[in-house]
């Protein structure tokens, strides 16, 4: 636990930096979006956005979110994602794709997802969510590097950003009340990201955290 706490403090300190470098600036930018916390923003930037990509397709391929083509007997189709690519970035994006639906229901990516899964079963949703993760990754990359806000996405209220920052530096705006743990720290996948670099991708929706 001490190791996790130390890593969290180091990670959160980026948001307090008034003169951030390029990577820290992108983390601060991403953390302004509703549903996207500092932990996921840090992984996106450190594992992906600090690198140079010619286009969104190249980024999706690097993350391992590009469908693998399959050809047999003159029939060509996509057989889903392979194991190539950055597993850490891929894992975070698949989970973030589910979270994004909850916090950004009016975004273009979520509207696209709903249209594709309308009238389908759970198996199809688990396949299509990978495509959603790829689209979302590219949209967030453009937001972090070019300032292009994802269509339909909303930002966190300024008051929420200040309260979050205040809790992190130990100056809570609500004295006497302990802040509820963030979604990131309550989700096993994100906790594992702090201590390990290898894990499997799950396309199953994460369980909603228990009430604080």
pLDDT, residue 160, reads: 59
Exposure on the CB side of residue 77, measured as CA atoms within 13 A:
5
Evaluate whether 141 touches 65 at the Cβ level (below 8 Å).
no
Confidence of residue 48 (pLDDT cuts 50, 70, 90): very high
The predicted-structure confidence for 51-80, as pLDDT tens digits, reads as follows 999 999 999 999 999 865 544 444 444 445
pTM for this one?
A: 0.71
Please name which of 177, 186, 200 lies closest in space to residue 37, comparing C-alpha atoms.
186
E strands, the chain, are 67-72, 75-81
Residue 21 backbone phi and psi in degrees, to 5? -80, -175
3-state helix, strand, coil in the chain (%, to 5): 55, 5, 40
Tokens coding 125:
């949703």
Mean predicted confidence (pLDDT) in 158-170: 53
Handedness of CA 68, 107, 126, 128 (dihedral sign): negative
The predicted-structure confidence for 68-115, as pLDDT tens digits, reads as follows 554 444 444 444 555 679 999 999 999 999 999 999 999 999 999 999
- The DSSP secondary structure of 56-114, one letter per residue, reads HHHHHHHHT-SEEEEEETTEEEEEEE-S-S-HHHHHHHHHHHHHHHHH-TTSHHHHHHH
d(CA 21, CA 13): 13
Q: Is the pLDDT of residue 25 over 50?
A: yes
Tokens coding 129:
């969510």
């Amino acid at each position: 636990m001490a190791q996790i706490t130390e890593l969290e403090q180091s990670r959160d300190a980026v948001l307090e930096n008034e003169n951030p470098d390029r990577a820290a600036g992108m983390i601060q930018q991403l953390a302004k979006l509703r549903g996207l916390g500092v932990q996921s923003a840090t992984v996106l930037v450190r594992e992906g956005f600090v690198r140079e990509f010619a286009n969104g397709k190249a980024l999706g391929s690097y993350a391992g979110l590009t469908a693998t083509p399959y050809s047999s007997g003159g029939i060509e189709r996509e057989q889903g994602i392979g194991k190539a690519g950055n597993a850490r970035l891929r894992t975070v994006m698949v989970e973030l794709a589910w979270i994004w639906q909850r916090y950004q229901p009016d975004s273009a990516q979520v509207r696209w997802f709903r249209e594709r899964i309308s009238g389908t079963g759970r198996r199809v949703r688990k396949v299509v969510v990978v495509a959603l993760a790829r689209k979302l990754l590219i949209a967030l990359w453009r937001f972090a590097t070019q300032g292009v806000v994802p269509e339909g996405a909303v930002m966190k209220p300024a008051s929420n950003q200040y309260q979050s920052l205040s809790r992190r530096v130990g100056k809570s705006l609500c004295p006497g009340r302990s802040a509820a743990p963030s979604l990131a720290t309550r989700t096993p996948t994100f906790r594992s990201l702090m201590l390990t670099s290898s894990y499997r991708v799950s396309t199953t929706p994460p369980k909603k955290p228990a009430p604080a």
